[in-house]
Amino acid sequence: MKPFEYNDQEIGQKEVLFLVANMVIGFGVLTLPRSIVEHTKSFDGWISICIGGIIALFFTWVVAKLTMRFPKKNFYEISSAILNKYIGGILTFLFATYSILFVSYEMRGVASISQLYLFDKTPVEVICLVFLLVVIYGISGESIVILRINLMFLPIVLFIVFVLMIMNLGYFELKNLKPFFISNWKEIATASKETVFSFLGFEFLLFYNAFINKPKNTSKSALMGISIPLVLYLTVFIFVIGVFGVDVTSNTLYPTAELAKQVEVPGGFFERFESLFFTIWVMTLFSTAAMAFDITLLALGAIMKKVKRMHFIFILSPIIYLIAMSPQNILEVASFGKVISYTGIVFSMVIPSVLLTIALIRGVKGDV
């Protein structure tokens, strides 16, 4: 059977906005409130989220400016034009490695939290395998399909978060937010580092740039896209602290998920609202993991053009599964996440900044 192919292999600015937002919103938001209050010990963590958001906005602008300078080019072509093909190939291969780790972490996160809240008697290995098979199905086609799925998934995810906040209004207490401005600058700065990690994902625009049909407005769409998780993180943090308080939040593994367990639907229509919440939330985790896997395929395909996409999938899938299963406990999963976060800083902030600076100094541009 001949696979269906889209005639239009390009994406517009709306898709750019949704892909940036959906790529950033992932597993991190479920643990973000706890990570912040562990350092600030107060509601002042909202300042850290704003600082992290401003840093993310700036580097998203850097990435967008770099891509706008090289329309229709992927990261390999951009880095090769600015430096040379040898260095460009090395950077692209390292980017692919980072993407593999990113997919593995998302998969392990989904499996761990699904076992905790949905399938308590199902082994993590089985949940992870099933999720990987779904992701493989999703990325077996064209990249453009994954990008257009974001248009459908993100509004649903944002809606369920909005419902979650509304349903928790009855538990919200202003006194839990007090006192204000008691954290020192070191605590705010340390917590800001945690929030920066939660904004990673916009760097994948470096590859999807090849699909953008009107690159002149990429920076505007990308900045709007990164603003969505910024508002979402602030809202979730305010509600988590308002409902649970600082002490409970700092001792809760997934405080955002616990908000869903708080919900009681009148009439008992939904006895376990958290099941509905996680079912919807898995959609955004699927999009994030699928795009990261897709980026891996695009990166390796850029430097090994003769190898077919499906061959990469068959080779990489077992590797991703084994990496996802490597952490033996929740502490090792957290350490795994730290490694990916620091690697993400390099590929989202350091390398794009260096490439843009060199391109500006040397006057290197892509063909328009």
State pTM to two decimals: 0.91
pLDDT at residue number 150: 86
Reply yes or no on whether the pLDDT at 128 is more than 60: yes
pLDDT at residue number 270: 59
The answer to whether the CB of 45 falls within 8 A of the CB of 258 is: no
pLDDT more than 90, % of the chain: 49
pLDDT at residue number 77: 94
pLDDT at residue number 1: 46
Reply yes or no on whether the pLDDT at 78 is more than 80: yes
Burial 27-62 (b: 16+ CB within 10 A, else e): bbbbbbbbbbbbbbbbbbbbbbbbbbbebbbebbbb
The answer to whether the CB of 159 falls within 8 A of the CB of 284 is: no
Reply yes or no on whether the pLDDT at 153 is more than 60: yes
Q: With bands split at pLDDT 50, 70 and 90, how would you rate the model's confidence at 214? A: confident
Domain range list for the chain: 13-346
What sign for the dihedral angle of Cα 114, 33, 287, 315? negative
Residue 332 neighbours by CB under 8 Å, 6+ apart: 326
Q: Which fold has domain 13-346?
A: Amino acid/polyamine transporter I (1.20.1740)
Neighbour count for residue 309 (Cβ, 10 Å): 16
What stretches of the chain show up as alpha helix (H) in DSSP?
A: 13-24, 32-40, 45-69, 75-82, 85-117, 124-139, 143-167, 185-198, 205-208, 218-250, 255-262, 273-303, 309-325, 330-345, 351-362
Q: Closest by alpha carbon to 95, among 356, 302, 310, 286?
A: 302
How high is the mean pLDDT of the chain? 88
Tokens 């080779």, residue located: 315
Q: Convert the pLDDT of each residue in 26-64 to its tens digit.
A: 777 888 899 899 888 889 999 999 999 999 999 999 999
- Which residues lie across from 308 on neighbouring strands? none
What element of type H or E holds 215?
none
Burial 225-256 (b: 16+ CB within 10 A, else e): bbbbbbebbeebbbbbbbbbbbebbbebebbb
